[in-house]
Amino acid sequence: MKPVRVALLGCGVVGTEVVRLLLEQSDDLAARVGAPVELAGIAVRRPDRVREGVPADLLTTDAMGLATRADVDIVVEVIGGIEPARSLIVGALKSGKSVVSANKALLAEDGQTLFAAAREFGVDLYYEASVAGAIPLLRALRESLVGDSIHRVLGIVNGTTNYILDQMDTHGAGFADALAEAQALGYAEADPTADVEAFDAAAKAAILAQLAFHTPVTAADVHREGITEVTAQDVAGAKAMDCVVKILAICERDGDRGVAVRVHPAMIPRSHPLGSVRGAYNAVFVEAESAGSLMFYGAGAGGAPTASAVLGDIVAVARNRVNGASGPVETTYAALPILPMGETVTRYYVQLDVADQAGVLAQVAEEFARHGVSIQAVRQEGSGEDAQLVIVTHRATDAALNATVASLRGHASVREVASVMRVEGDI
């Protein structure tokens, strides 16, 4: 059987691991695919750099030449970023090559261009490794659940921020100390902006929403809040409610009104399965009409887990090439509107430092009522000149809650709005 030849663009941590797996498992892969799978070349910027286990004779600096070469069947892109990755992938697709990518940033920004090129030239574009590492989440949305109606996707999709928040919860660390520890252990980059400001999670949320709801969604459509403003006081407040703070990616369909996609910190009960996700792990719930609630859990990052997802896509695409077929192509037929965050309905935790005097609770409750925000529970603590009110609301729009908080900040009896956080799950 004619070999399936693979070109690799990029050979960093993930790329090196992909090379190792392709070489070490060549016999098994050939049996699973139905034909040998061979490395045709590896495009790198610095060919003189030592890469253990990577054949030096396969290295080249001509990435576009490799991606469009006549003897290449599959192009694997693990460069990351927008350019030159976009041009290389489009060039490969137009040359009739199927593509496997781990590039969440590009797929979230301009996936429609890539999908259109794959569709036009009748080739595959697979990208399981772009979200949640080794967890087979995208394949479930793309294939296993394609006959179902998905209502909601909710989960932890960034291991770095989950590790930081876990340290803050478990050891009482402040954000800066927890981040420093994550960097020392290699969980966080020297520049952690993409993780702690939730750009990484927002890109993944856009990809998940597009697959789940068959609607074009870009990273710019995702409401994004990072964890840099989460304080030890916020975490302690959650503990007092038997909750934990997690940063969640939430994709929801509101009937025919549209789709809401958001990433932000939220309180969830410790009894919730997501509440027990520790360290740098990922976990995602998918709620579907017929399948019900499904949970996907595992390692969400790292060279080996990500390479596992890449290799799974290589095998799937190689099988298609051997059989003269192609896999599913993304559909955006639903084209649902993207709902603004102000219209998104959720519950809230609000902690207020107030004057300890008669009638304060009634005055605060009146402000909530004036903006149409219903209070579910309230707890008052402290004595002397100052007291603390902890309020949990019923479901309300983001716009209504923001208006309430703005009015409370100007209220004579309110010393400070100490904490405002969204709530997911029943507390």
- Residue 239 falls in the annotated catalytic set: no
Residue 281, strand partner residues = 299
Q: Are the beta carbons of 39 and 59 closer than 8 angstroms? A: no
3-state secondary structure of 204: helix
Distance of alpha carbon 237 from alpha carbon 358, whole angstroms: 24
Residue type, 10: G
Q: Among 104, 204, 239, 246, which one carries the catalytic annotation?
A: 204
| Among 348, 395, 393, 351, residue whose Cα is nearest residue 375 | 393
> Residues 309, 297, 211, 14: is their CA dihedral positive or negative?
negative
Q: Does the N-terminal peptide bond of residue 84 adopt cis geometry, omega within 30 degrees of 0?
A: yes
Cα distances from 241 to residues 175, 354, 408, in angstroms, run 20, 20, 22
Q: What is the 3-state secondary structure (H, E, C) of 141-156?
A: HHHHCCCCCEEEEEEE
CA distances from 345 to 147, 339, 398, 399 (A): 28, 11, 6, 9
With tokens 């309430």, the residue in question is: 404
What residues pair up with 244 in beta bridges, in sequence order? 268
- Sequence-distant (≥ 6) Cβ neighbours of residue 104 within 8 angstroms: 127, 130, 131, 200, 203, 204, 207
**Strand ranges in 270-402 using DSSP code E only, listed in sequence order:** 281-288, 292-299, 345-355, 375-381, 386-393, 396-397
Q: Which of 153, 250, 133, 275 shows the shortest CA–CA distance to 198? A: 250
Residues belonging to the chain: 427
Residue with tokens 């030096």: 56
406: enclosing H helix or E strand: helix 398-409
The gap between the terminal CA atoms of the chain, to the nearest Å, is 60
Parallel, antiparallel, or unpaired: how do β-strands 98-101 and 74-77 relate? parallel
For residue 325, give every residue at least 6 positions away whose Cβ sits within 8 Å of its Cβ, in sequence order, or none: none
**Residues annotated catalytic, as ranges:** 204
